[in-house]
Structure formats: C-alpha cells, structure tokens
Structure 1
Amino acid sequence: MLSVLLITFPFFALVACGFVATWRGVLPQAAIAGLNTFVLFFALPCMLYRFGAQTPVEQLLDLNVILVYLLCAAIMVGTTVLLTRRRMGWNDAAFGALVAAFPNTGFMGVPMLAALLGAQSAGPVILSMAIDMVITTSACIALSRLDLAGGQGVWTAVRNSFKGMAANPMPWSILLGGLASAMGWVLPGPIDKTVDMLAGAASPVALFTIGAVLARSQMNSHERVAAHDHVPVALAKLIIHPMLVWAVGMSAISMGLSLSHETLVVLVLLAALPSASNVSLLTERYGAHSGRIARIILVSTSLAFLTFSAAVALMT
C-alpha cells in the first residue's frame, strides 16, 4: 500500500497545490479560465490523440468494454435518481447521478492510469471517456429536464448537449487518434514534436487546474449543503461504482465474454476515480444545486487519495 501511495501522491499533491494557490489568492480566479482553455483545447486533446494513434484499433472498438462500462453507468445513474428524486426533484437528482457515474477521466484518469499501468490502459480509458461524454451526460441532461411541465425541453437540452460536444475538441481528438491508428498515419516530425510537448504538459496542468476549480467553487458558493445530501453520493462514486464494475466485469468473464483481467483492472480503477469536475459547469448552466455538486466533487477528490490508492493496491 505504501508503494502505491508513493506513486499516487504526486498526482494528488498537484491538485492540492492548485487548491491552496487559489484559496490563498496566489492564483487569481480570473486565471483559471485560461488554465482550463489550455488543458481542454490544447494539452489533453494532444494526449488523447497520441494515445489513440498508438493504440491498436481493435482495442478502441472493444464491444465488451463498451457493454460492461455502459451497463454500470446506467445502473449508477438509475439507482441514484431513484433514491434521490422524490426528495430533490429531477434536476438535482439527475446531476447528482451524473457525478456518481462520471469519473474525472480526462483531467485525472488519463495521466494517472498511464503512469500506473502504461499503454495498456489507453483503449479502455478512451472508450470510457467517449461513453461518459456522449451517452451518460446526454441521458442525465435529458432526465434533468423532466421537472419542466410535460417534460418540455428534454430534446432541446439533448440537442444542446450534442452541440456542446461538437465544440469540445476531446471527442474529435479521440476520433482522429483512432483514424490514425487504423490508417497508419504518422505526423510530420515538427508537428509530432509539438503534439508530444503539449501532451506532456497535460498531466501537471490538468491536475493543478482541478485543485483551482475546486477551490473556486468553494469560495464562490454560499449555499449550505447538509452532509446527507453530498457525502453518500461521493462515497457511492468512490466505493460502489468500482465494486459494481468489478462485479459486472467478473460476471461477463464467467459468461464467456472476451474481457481480459488487465482490461477489467483498468475499468475498475477508472470507476474508482473521483467525480468529474466539469459537471459543476453543467450544473450551473442548467440551474441545479451547484453547491451540492461542487461539494460532492470536492469530497470525492479529497477522499480519493486513500480510496483510489487502496483500489490500486487491491487490483494490481
């Protein structure tokens, strides 16, 4: 366990650095938008393209991985909504379900799993990101609109979510990386070096930015949130989600599905990641309880240093 903590410590330390820098005013809140832009539009797309281009295309189209991960996401969303909807309505229940099912794969999972498991993690990581960005997010946004009279606005919200994804460079970088792998494309030397440099910057800047975003959400939130409204969801993300993925994956293997143990380890560790920080932005856009979602993300990220490290120690 100690050896695992020594590996994961630098990643969470960078998150803590971003949090403290923003909380203490060393990093102005106005600068966080610039960090987000660099990570989302430059560094992470280059990292995802590089992973996709270097991963065999059959791993990027693994139907068994898609089925296992998507089923678990559906169970997490459905269960969370079922348990919370009557108490807080569709809007808050849906976004609570999204943070329970959507791990912080882009900002945290991509660099951390690459460091822990190497290139073998690339295929499942890319597939899980695509599922969460396209299917899980769209489904939760649609559910959040059911509070409106007659369910009006559901399809408008779904269309807007797809428009937002079309403007997001990460799905396009995944697609281009997959095409490069399938077609055997190789970037010209100077361009390849530029992509490599930007990809190398993704990990430290993304982790630092997570901390900055978490600090900003706490500093700007004046809503009081009861512990029973956010702690159970954070624990479900860190504990129930990876246990569910492990159980479903083992069941799939016992039924004869071609899912390797190594791939299942990657999926379990992805599920053990804390909640995705970008959900707080969607919450604000759709008028849900942003303070509750921000607190879930903060608690899950804080506890993940121990719970994720424990998951790594158990699975590897």
Structure 2
Amino acid sequence: MTDVLVTIAPLTAMILVGFAAGFLPRFSAAESGLNVFVLHFALPAFLFSAVAGASLDRGLPLPFLLIALLVPTAVSAAVLLIARAVPNLRRRRLAGPLALTGGYGNVGYLGVPIGISLLGAEAALAVGVGQLLHNLVFMIGYPLLAEAGAGAQGESVMARVRRTVVSALLLNPVALSIFAGLAVAAVPWSLPGPVDEAVELLAGAAVPVALFAVGLALHHALVGLRSGAVPLGALTVATAVKMLLLPSLTWGAAVLTGLDRESTLVLVLLAVMPTSTTAYLLAHAYDGHGPFGAATIFVTTVLSVGLIPLAFVLAA
C-alpha cells in the first residue's frame, strides 16, 4: 500500500497544483487551451510512444477485451433502466446523466498515467487498448442514445450512427494514436530519430499537463456542487456506482474468467477512475445537466485519492 501511495502522490500533487492555480483568472482562462493541447497532441504522443514500444507477442486475452467493453456497458445500461423507472428522475431527465456519470471514467487523463506508473511500460498495450474500449462505449453509445429520438431533420438512424462512429473512432486523435502505435509495434522498424525525439518531447508533457488540467476543471465541478441545483440522492448513487460497484464487478468478472494479474489490475484501475470530464460535456450538451456531471466529477475525484490505491492493493 505504501509503495502505491508513493507512486500516486506526485500525480495527486499535480492535480492539487492545478486546482490551486484555478483560483487565479489567468490560469482558469487557459483551461480550454490546455485541454485542446492534451487531447490533440500530448496524450496521443504519450499513447503512441507507449503502445509502439510495447511487445505484441502476448497480445491481449479475449476476456480482457470483453470485460473492458461489456462491464461498463452493462452497469450503465442497468442504471439507465432503473433510473427511468423512477418518476422523479425520468421527469427531470436525469436517467441518462446518472447512467453516464456512473460508468464513464477519466481513463485518458488519469487512467493512462496512473496505470503505466503503477504497472510499468510493459502494461502500456493493455492500458492503451483498455482505455480506448472504455471511451468508445460512452463516446459512441451515449450520443447515439441521446439522439435516438432527435437527430437532424430528415437524418436517418444509420446516418446518425455513421456520424457518431466516425467522430468517436476515426477522427479521435487518441484512438488514432493507438492504432498508429499498434502499426509501428507490429513492424520491425522505428521512427526516424528526429521524429521520435519530437514525439517523446510531446509525450513528456502529457502526464503533468493532463493532471494540471484536471485540477483546473475541478473548479467548474465545485461550482456545480455549490449551486444547489444538484440532487444529492442522484449524486450519491452515481458516486457509489462509479467508485464501488463498477470496480467490484470488473474485478469479479476478471476473477471468474481467470485473467492474469496484470490484465486484472489494468481493468480494475480503469474502472476505479473518477468520472470523466467528458461526461460533463456530454451531460450538458444532450440533457442540460452540466452541474450534475460537474458535481459527480468533483466528488469522485476527491474520493479517488484513497480508493485508487485501495483498489490496486485489494485486486493485487
């Protein structure tokens, strides 16, 4: 437990630095630019470098891929169905945001650096592919669900499906970086020296800048929590599902399928990540519940400081 805390402490410190900096207007105003830099340059470079240097000899077990896809999907679907049966939640259009925030973890900005820091570079392939599958469940599934009865005038269901899949998979820089890394790892050659050095420079910025940006984002989350517009009952449910139920079911599925230790730890770490900042954007854009998403991000991020190392130790 001590070793895990020592490893995570500097990462937590970067979040706290970002949160403290957010009290100054000059840094708060820079949040959007930092997120664009991380999403389009630093994080893709980090994932490309990690996956390109990984060994593909072992590959990834099929149960790993299925659990990464199906457990978050099943948990969110169950929450959605139950929440839709509650009149108050259905009337306030909270069923979708509740299912989203209870399942969608911050696997990119937090899961990737924490997973590789705790498990080493040899886990890069599992971490990269695991976070990609986790993201795709929600980046494709939630917009499709939200647009099922809406969509552009005259646009068919299949057209909306194609548009959403292309946006989340084929135009997503994080997804593309993983595909590119897999391609490089599969062939017996490497990038030219200057190109490789440039990628490494960008990759080196990913972890500190991403964590700093998470700290800045917590200010919006805190405002949402203080607004009084967030139903505490729904917030408690989303937090319990995200930080307790999802990791527990993920661990159980890994044990039942006989997954190896490293694969199990990757899945559990990704599952116990706090609610993704993208969940706030989706909840705001499709359901008008940005404050609820932001409040869930704040509470789960605070709890994750203790629950991430605890989950790692218990799953190990």
The question of a shared fold, defined as TM-score above 0.5 by the shorter chain, is answered with yes
1:89 alignment partner in structure 2: 90
Unaligned runs of 5+ in 2: none
Counterpart mapping for 1:1-316 below 5 A: 1-22=1-22, 24-57=23-56, 62-87=61-86, 88-89=89-90, 92-146=94-148, 157-165=160-168, 166-219=170-223, 222=227, 224-253=229-258, 259-316=259-316
CA displacement 1:157-207 (0-9 Å, x = unmatched):
544432432332111000000000112330111110111111111001000
State the Cα distance separating 1:135 from its structure 2 match: 3.1
- SS of residue matched to 1:187: coil
**Whole-Å separation in 2 of the counterparts to 1:4 and 1:135:** 29
State the Cα distance separating 1:77 from its structure 2 match: 1.2
- SS of residue matched to 1:274: coil
* CA RMSD, Structure 1 to Structure 2 (Å): 2.4
Query: What is the TM-score of this pair, normalised by structure 2?
Result: 0.89
State the Cα distance separating 1:294 from its structure 2 match: 0.9
**Whole-Å separation in 1 of the counterparts to 2:231 and 2:65:** 36
Letter of the 1:144 counterpart: A
Letter of the 2:291 counterpart: G
**Whole-Å separation in 2 of the counterparts to 1:223 and 1:143:** 28
Moved more, 30-39 or 63-72: 63-72
CA displacement 1:249-285 (0-9 Å, x = unmatched):
11111xxxxx312211211121111111111112222
**Whole-Å separation in 1 of the counterparts to 2:293 and 2:115:** 25
Letter of the 1:312 counterpart: F
CA contact (8 A) 1:35 1:209 kept: yes
**Whole-Å separation in 1 of the counterparts to 2:212 and 2:174:** 19
Unaligned runs of 5+ in 1: 254-258
Letter of the 1:6 counterpart: V
**Whole-Å separation in 2 of the counterparts to 1:281 and 1:155:** 24
1:230–1:153 Cα change, 3 Å: farther
CA contact (8 A) 1:59 1:124 kept: no
CA contact (8 A) 2:83 2:95 kept: yes
Moved more, 203-212 or 26-35: 26-35
Letter of the 1:284 counterpart: H
Letter of the 1:44 counterpart: L
Moved more, 126-135 or 38-47: 126-135
Identity of aligned residues (%): 31
State the Cα distance separating 1:79 from its structure 2 match: 1.7
**Matched positions, count:** 308
- SS of residue matched to 2:94: helix
1:311–1:7 Cα change, 3 Å: same
**Whole-Å separation in 2 of the counterparts to 1:26 and 1:212:** 11
State the Cα distance separating 1:121 from its structure 2 match: 2.2
1:256 alignment partner in structure 2: none
1:81–1:270 Cα change, 3 Å: same
